[in-house]
């Protein structure tokens, strides 16, 4: 059947600056891909190209015919001067049934706040509302742009646990930009390390040992990830030597 999404050799240039340079990415059925990289690396732009929100200067994006994409942005700024309740918000822009809203609310644990105004919700509650909205269309692909960036540690853990459950229960693929690699390591199938081009990609426990990963994120992240790698190796019966890498030079792009 082929990939859900196949992006080939994407080139994006803005104001004479290369944002994406020869970037290729495939998203398969029931895939879970996490994109990581420094600020300004082109991560959000790659999502925009994949979803068709931005036409790249070069390269192609193939989307499977009839594909449904659900999108969860970084945040929703709720205006207290325009009080809108969660239930009403979920019904906007979509011809959606009451049952569908109730089911999405149950799946994202927002049943108790359906009749609350958006502007009184916590950051974690708002993100779950955005996730519920993205699920209303029964998407083939769920795209999330740093969905837990503005949450505290407890909120981050709760959100990613919820995402894990949705991924396990639904036949959905997930493409996510995240800085919280240590929290999504056990869930994601592939990590793509992006800094205008793809520096490295593969299974999480392999990518975090890659010199390019350590060059971009430094020894602190490498040490943090070593805890995951250690437990992963023991769980899989591998007898790897764990050694520290020197911090490499930062990529110039």
**Domain extents for the chain?**
5-235
C-alpha separations of 224 from 86, 104, 208, 209, 229 in Å: 38, 35, 10, 12, 9
Domain 5-235, CATH number (from 3.40.50.300, 1.25.40.10, 1.10.3720.10, 3.20.20.70) = 3.40.50.300
The predicted structure's pLDDT at residue 231: 52
DSSP assignment letter at 8: E
Asked whether the beta carbons of 175 and 35 are under 8 A apart, the reply is: yes
Over the stretch 9-60, which tens digit does the pLDDT of each residue have? 999 999 989 999 999 999 999 999 999 988 889 999 999 999 999 999 999 9
> CA nearest 162: which of 107, 101, 204?
107
The pTM assigned to this predicted structure is: 0.85
CA angle 182, 185, 189 (to 5 degrees): 155
């Amino acid at each position: 059947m082929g990939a859900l999404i196949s992006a080939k050799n994407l080139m994006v240039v803005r104001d004479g600056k290369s944002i994406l340079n020869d970037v290729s990415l495939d998203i398969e059925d029931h895939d879970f891909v996490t994109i990581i990289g420094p600020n300004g690396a082109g991560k959000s732009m790659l999502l925009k190209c994949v979803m068709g929100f931005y036409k790249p200067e070069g390269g192609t994006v193939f989307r499977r015919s009839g594909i449904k994409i659900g999108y969860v942005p970084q945040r929703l700024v709720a205006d207290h001067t325009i009080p809108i309740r969660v239930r009403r918000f979920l019904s906007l822009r979509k011809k959606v049934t009451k049952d569908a809203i109730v089911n999405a609310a149950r799946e994202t644990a927002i049943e108790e706040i359906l009749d609350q105004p958006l502007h009184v919700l916590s950051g974690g509650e708002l993100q779950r509302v955005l996730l519920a909205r993205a699920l209303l269309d029964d998407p083939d692909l769920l795209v999330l742009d740093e969905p837990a960036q503005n949450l505290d540690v407890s909120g981050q853990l709760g959100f990613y646990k919820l995402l894990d459950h949705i991924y396990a229960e639904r036949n959905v693929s997930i493409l996510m930009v995240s800085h919280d690699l240590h929290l999504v390591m056990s869930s994601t199938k592939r990590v793509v390390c992006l800094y205008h081009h793809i520096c490295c990609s593969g299974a999480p426990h392999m990518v975090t040992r890659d010199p390019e990963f350590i060059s971009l994120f430094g020894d602190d992240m490498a040490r943090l990830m070593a805890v995951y790698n250690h437990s992963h190796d023991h769980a899989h019966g591998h007898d790897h030597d764990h050694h520290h890498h020197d911090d490499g030079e930062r990529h110039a792009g």
